[in-house]
Amino acid sequence: MKIKSARTVIAILVMAWHLAGLPHRAYSLTANEENTIRVYETVAPSVVNITTSACDPEFFFCSIPAESGSGSGIILEEEGIIVTNHHVVARAESIQVTLSDGRQKKGQLVASSVEDDMAILRIDPKGSPLKAIVLGDSEQIEVGEKVMAIGNPFGLGQTLSTGVVSMTGRSIRNGGIVLRDLIQISAAINPGNSGGALVNSKGELVGMNTAILSPTGANVGIGFAIPVNRIKTVAPGLMNQWGRWVGWILAGLLVYWIFRRVYRVR
């Protein structure tokens, strides 16, 4: 009887010890799940939701927006520089940016490139620095590598989907423009994900979600992202429009000087 009583006491003590630790998880997460959660918590503050409105050109003063759209964006600089797709903000009369903490800011279009399907927006953080995303290297990604897409599908902001790199170097035609050297992914991409972040297991940006291949208009497991290395190449020129104009002016002056020299020789 004493042995049974001792076992009972021990069982009660063990149960009490477990209950004292409530709330506790009934199961443990896998290493892959823990990585996904950690990456999402790190990257989500660097991804924004974008809402646009456009006016009907047949009406004056734009008193009533004719249509609206939604997309995503990625914070490149703490001062309020955001990159997104050109098609997200094309024809937009007004742009509203919603941060991960719920703050809403008016977005200003700095510049846009149709050929690269890329646009730069600027918002005023008003003394509260934003969290810029960490840029990775898209040349280093491999087929089969785990990737995570964060964006604003169907207006449901801060949504995460996971998948793998299905292939690299893809070219697709999107709205009359041929986008080359894209990353093909299996992570779910839907309308509104455009302009969102594609990150690796380190939380580094490897691409910007851009398009899907689907007969229904919704995700069927074939999505495409612009490589981050192209963002590194194109974005600085879009942010520095004055530098681009200076380049064209200098080129024009050079042509004029050559023309004058040739003309004088004759």
CA 53 to CA 31: how far, in whole Å? 42
Question: What's the CA angle centered on 142, arms 195 and 84, to 5 degrees?
Answer: 10
Is 86 part of the annotated catalytic residue set?
no
Phi/psi for 106 (5° steps) reads -80, 125
Q: Six-digit token pair at 211?
A: 């398009």
Is 194 part of the annotated catalytic residue set?
yes
Is 101 part of the annotated catalytic residue set?
no
Residues 157 and 117: beta-carbon distance below 8 Å: no
- In the set 100, 117, 138, 166, the catalytic residue is 117
- In the set 46, 70, 86, 87, the catalytic residue is 87
Residues serving a catalytic function are 87, 117, 194
